Structure 1
Amino acid sequence: MLNDLLVAFQAVATIENFLSMAAGIWGGVIIGAIPGMTGTMAVTLALPFTFYMQPIPSILLLVALYKGSTYGGSVSAILIKTPGTASAACTTLDGYPLAQQGKAGKALNMALYSSCTGDFISNLSLIFIAAPLALLALRIGPPEYFMLMIFALTTVAGVSGRSLLLGLVSACLGLLLATVGEDMYGSFRFDLTVDMQSGLAVAPVLIGLFAIPELLKIIVFRNNQSHKPMQLGDNRVTRDELRRSLKAMLKGSMIGVVMGAIPGIGPSAAAFSSYGEAQRSSKNRENFGKGELEGIAASESANNGCCGSTMIPLLALGVPGDVITGVMLGAFMIHGMTPGPMLFENNLHEVYMLFIGMLFSSVLLFGAGKATMRFFSHISRIPPGLMAPIVLALCVFGIFSISNSMYDVIVLLAMGIFGFFMFLFAIPAAPFLIAFILGPMLEENLRRALALSRGDPSILVSSPITWLFASLAIFVVVVTIRQQLKKAKV
């Protein structure tokens, strides 16, 4: 095996492979930082260019685009409170407050360090524990998925701000809007127009909820706001800050690895789950949502921790872990490699090359992040009055370009107005987004589980995995209630 790895290392260490990875990382960071320009779009648009490339450079290009765009989403999330990707939405909770405090550079550095850490640990997990995690993923059926979603929804308590009641109201609204469109049995709900039969896409809801309200604040409260541009302040993350955030970073990486290995979960759910766990176990939990570096570390390490582990079910089982790896499945097939158990028999050399190339891409991600940080950090110096129309144009163009649909643009603007009213009534947006993302998976797996058991609800606690997630959810709820009671006494 060692000899095979050395041969694969020599094969990867070519100019063509490094240029492919560098182009993918840089392109992904830039695309991810533009609101509405998702990693899925980047990988899909790059796919035709890989037809004429060798198999490994083409796969490494797509993987690098995936990694770069996942990190790039944090840039706009921190600087302008507009997450470039859905998985970076959690980063806005502490990243933007830090930027407002004149610590944008510090927040960007922490996001980069956490992203590279999560990405590297995810790559190692792909290499060493792909088979065990893939087997675990096979054991997770609809009941286990449902209980996992219930546990993930307990994150709502951690991002509800001062009022748990308002957080629950926000989450219920998110679950309600998640039901818009066609259900798994072909019934339509809230189909007021033909377009609404397809439901509400995540991207316009996400960007509308976070970006448009900020623009409306600039317009409505322009006389009460200072138009002085934000100062970058001290860009360095101190050794003490890094050591304090290391626990959240490592936890987030492992949460990302496990949740990324389960098909259909994705980095957004992993980021919020990691954030909630970091807040529960942190000594500075009261500072979360106000500009806490641990929050950024937890979020970014988790969503990047999914990048490598989403390849686990793809390579080991031939099952894509998310939409992007679904596109990569097509790339594998185009180049004559069929993902699944036989891939390790028929294309072992190429698999080793892919593993080594992904480790190299983690180093390239760090270099690209450092190189572009100085350029991106100047965005925070642009006065709000000038920034508002630029951000609005990017949001509208980015959302329209996803599916060339004016319906998505209308959803974007409608969610922006809705988000602004949520701000006026002090209803937190994060619980809404968590519930909206998890809602469809929660409902679908509940209905599948009940269909399998012919309506018997005991199937929801019929395996050790369901008991594990149910126990964790109950534990979190009990701890949350105790904390709320302590606050009420004080």
Structure 2
Amino acid sequence: METLSFLMDGFAVALQPENLMFALLGAFLGTLIGALPGLGPANGVAILIPLAFTLGLRPETALIMLTAVYAGAMYGGRISSILLNIPGDEPAMMTCLDGYPMAKKGKAAEALAISAIASFMGSLIATIGLILLAPILARFALTFGPAEYFALFLLAFATLGGITGKNPMKTVVAAAIGLMIATVGIDNTGVQRFTFGTLELYEGVDFIIAIVGLFAISELLFFIEDKAGGGKEKMTVNKLKLSFSDIRGIMPSCFRGGVLGFIAGVLPGAGASLGSFIGYTLEKKVVGKKGYFGEGDPRGVAGPEAGNNGASSGALVPMLTLGVPGSGTTAVLLALLISMNITPGPLMFTQNADIVWGVIAALLIGNFLLLVLNIPLVGIFVKLLSVPPMYLLPIVTMVAFVGIYSISNTTFDLYFMVAFGVAGYIFRKLEIPLVPIILGLLLGPEMEKNLRHALDISDGDWTVLWESGLAIGLWVFAGLGLILPYIIGPILRRRMNSAVKEMPTSD
């Protein structure tokens, strides 16, 4: 009953005209960003963070808008997958397997509508799971001491391999770079570290500058390098002919995919890619010989779409309750909260209850907005796919520079952002993932603070870090999180690659 009361308060926040308007704007922009191949939700949220500062949005309004961008980008990734056979991001890859064959058969509108319905169902199931699970997990996290929090942060770093899916050593290097950047500034004892006498570095490196530089500016540099002048070929979408029996036929797939996706999202490091993969493979096993997967089976679109959208909402659970991001995009959202002096974690549910429950209520509203937007407006999104990047680049650049300048009104931050952009470009060329760098930058200060606190309490006795049963459990999970992704990951990638080989080639 208490949860229901908090949720009603959240609806009171989410239904404010300003918040509703920015949720709608975020859903539209997120869908557009998700439809553009290669950008993905993490880049989309990073690119639009400066917009929140430029407009001077309140914390709850900014978070509602960017969460809507996140959800919209997960929806939008299916558009290019189905129409162009080009996944908008990795989780949308499984949608190509049956979505594109449906489009080739003249059922593009049906495939897009099915994916929108499945995305809605997956997000709705996961949001309900978030409402039920998050308060319980937050209350449990209140029992954490500094030693337990230190172990929790280690768990977050240990599961980075699952989030990035990259070379383990490069992931470790990236996390180390992030932790090194986090030490810049004046520490708790008043000692300057790596400031080099520069006044602007005394307070450390601003998360937002690093994120916009690493993601948005590096993306611009890649666009420039590729000289992507021409847009995608314009696609035609047939008139929608989706019956009630068709919708009823995909409902079990949507439910199974949504539940599995939510579980994958709650587990730090699992992510939407796993959600979409298991959503698709489960459907093949359940339907069996009755299906025609790979040839345009609607259930082959519904399963992975429900899975990846369920995982995206599920990833908000560890971020809001523990302050540990469950995906690359939630790491970017975590930075936004910290930059607004809001500390994600169990206390957020008491100190900033209006923001937490406002965002959860906005997720529910946003799912309905996205469903309403995506089916009738899909023709517009299809046409926007043909807009050459040469016209989009100046807009993205302007938003990034104006937004960063509006934070501190200093040109130093602009130079710093460009420097991070160049660094991000080099890292991506070397296949060093960016998410661990951001996570190290975000969690480094809190990790150090909890380590110092634990050692102060124990008079420097390091055994305090694994003294309690809870801390031991977290250390064990951290060890498993470090090892398992590199055992399961290659198996998962091999299966995904074999599935991709079955993917029909675009004409």
TM-score, structure 1 as length reference: 0.61
Q: Which string of whole-angstrom CA distances, capped at 9 and with x for unpartnered residues, describes residues 130-157 of structure 1?
A: 2567879979979x979x98xxxxxxxx
Q: Which string of whole-angstrom CA distances, capped at 9 and with x for unpartnered residues, describes residues 181-233 of structure 1?
A: 736479xxxxxxxxxxxxxxxx99xx9xxxxxxx9xx9xxxxxxxx9x97644
How far off is 1:409 after superposition? 10
| CA gap 1:290/1:329 in 2 versus in 1, 3 angstroms | same
Any idea what SS the aligned residue of 1:23 has?
helix
What's the counterpart of residue 108 of structure 1? 112
What's the counterpart of residue 23 of structure 1? 25
1:304 aligns with 2:306: no
CA distance in 2 between counterparts of 1:257 and 1:316 reads 15
CA distance in 1 between counterparts of 2:348 and 2:372 reads 32
What's the counterpart of residue 170 of structure 2? 182
CA distance in 2 between counterparts of 1:183 and 1:377 reads 36
| CA gap 1:101/1:63 in 2 versus in 1, 3 angstroms | same
Equivalent of 2:38 in 33, 36, 39 = 36
| CA gap 1:130/1:285 in 2 versus in 1, 3 angstroms | farther
CA distance in 2 between counterparts of 1:408 and 1:349 reads 38
How far off is 1:294 after superposition? 0.3
Any idea what SS the aligned residue of 1:236 has?
coil
8 Å Cα contact 2:320-2:345 kept in structure 1? yes
Q: Which string of whole-angstrom CA distances, capped at 9 and with x for unpartnered residues, describes residues 365-421 of structure 1?
A: 1122123213345689xxxxxx8xx88989999xx9996688799999xxxxxxxxx
1:241 maps to a residue whose letter is D
1:360 aligns with 2:365: yes
Equivalent of 1:282 in 261, 268, 287 = 287
How far off is 1:9 after superposition? 2.5
TM-score, structure 2 as length reference: 0.60
| CA gap 1:411/1:124 in 2 versus in 1, 3 angstroms | same
Structure 2: tracts of 5 or more residues without a match = 142-150, 175-217, 223-229, 401-419, 432-475, 492-507
1:85 aligns with 2:73: no
What's the counterpart of residue 235 of structure 1? 240
Q: Which string of whole-angstrom CA distances, capped at 9 and with x for unpartnered residues, describes residues 407-459 of structure 1?
A: 799999xxxxxxxxxxxxxxxxxxxxxxxxxxxxxxxxxxxxxxxxxxxxxx9
CA distance in 1 between counterparts of 2:318 and 2:377 reads 32
CA distance in 2 between counterparts of 1:352 and 1:122 reads 15
| CA gap 1:296/1:358 in 2 versus in 1, 3 angstroms | same
Any idea what SS the aligned residue of 1:66 has?
helix
| CA gap 1:104/1:393 in 2 versus in 1, 3 angstroms | farther
How far off is 1:313 after superposition? 0.4
CA distance in 1 between counterparts of 2:294 and 2:392 reads 24
Cα RMSD of the aligned pairs, angstroms, is 5.2
8 Å Cα contact 1:35-1:394 kept in structure 2? no
| CA gap 1:116/1:233 in 2 versus in 1, 3 angstroms | same
What's the counterpart of residue 67 of structure 1? 71
1:240-251 correspondence runs (5 A): 240-251=245-256
8 Å Cα contact 2:33-2:41 kept in structure 1? yes
Equivalent of 2:321 in 308, 316, 320 = 316
CA distance in 1 between counterparts of 2:101 and 2:388 reads 18
What's the counterpart of residue 271 of structure 2? 266
1:343-354 correspondence runs (5 A): 343-354=348-359
Any idea what SS the aligned residue of 1:102 has?
coil
What's the counterpart of residue 339 of structure 1? 344
How far off is 1:239 after superposition? 2.2
8 Å Cα contact 2:271-2:312 kept in structure 1? no
Any idea what SS the aligned residue of 1:282 has?
helix
CA distance in 2 between counterparts of 1:333 and 1:180 reads 28
| CA gap 1:56/1:184 in 2 versus in 1, 3 angstroms | closer
| CA gap 1:12/1:180 in 2 versus in 1, 3 angstroms | closer
Any idea what SS the aligned residue of 2:377 has?
helix
1:364 maps to a residue whose letter is L
CA distance in 1 between counterparts of 2:425 and 2:354 reads 47
8 Å Cα contact 1:97-1:291 kept in structure 2? yes
1:253 aligns with 2:255: no
| CA gap 1:275/1:93 in 2 versus in 1, 3 angstroms | same
| CA gap 1:145/1:408 in 2 versus in 1, 3 angstroms | closer
Q: Which string of whole-angstrom CA distances, capped at 9 and with x for unpartnered residues, describes residues 331-357 of structure 1?
A: 212333211111112122332222212
What's the counterpart of residue 153 of structure 1? none
CA distance in 2 between counterparts of 1:110 and 1:3 reads 34
What's the counterpart of residue 212 of structure 1? none
CA distance in 1 between counterparts of 2:258 and 2:47 reads 28
How far off is 1:237 after superposition? 2.5
Equivalent of 2:51 in 49, 52, 57 = 49
Q: Which string of whole-angstrom CA distances, capped at 9 and with x for unpartnered residues, describes residues 71-113 of structure 1?
A: 1010011001111222211111111111111000000000100
Aligned length: 369
How far off is 1:305 after superposition? 0.6
CA distance in 2 between counterparts of 1:409 and 1:348 reads 38
CA distance in 2 between counterparts of 1:183 and 1:17 reads 37
1:375-414 correspondence runs (5 A): 375-376=380-381
8 Å Cα contact 1:26-1:68 kept in structure 2? yes
| CA gap 1:24/1:392 in 2 versus in 1, 3 angstroms | closer
CA distance in 2 between counterparts of 1:185 and 1:289 reads 39
8 Å Cα contact 2:266-2:317 kept in structure 1? yes
CA distance in 1 between counterparts of 2:171 and 2:348 reads 35
| CA gap 1:407/1:49 in 2 versus in 1, 3 angstroms | closer
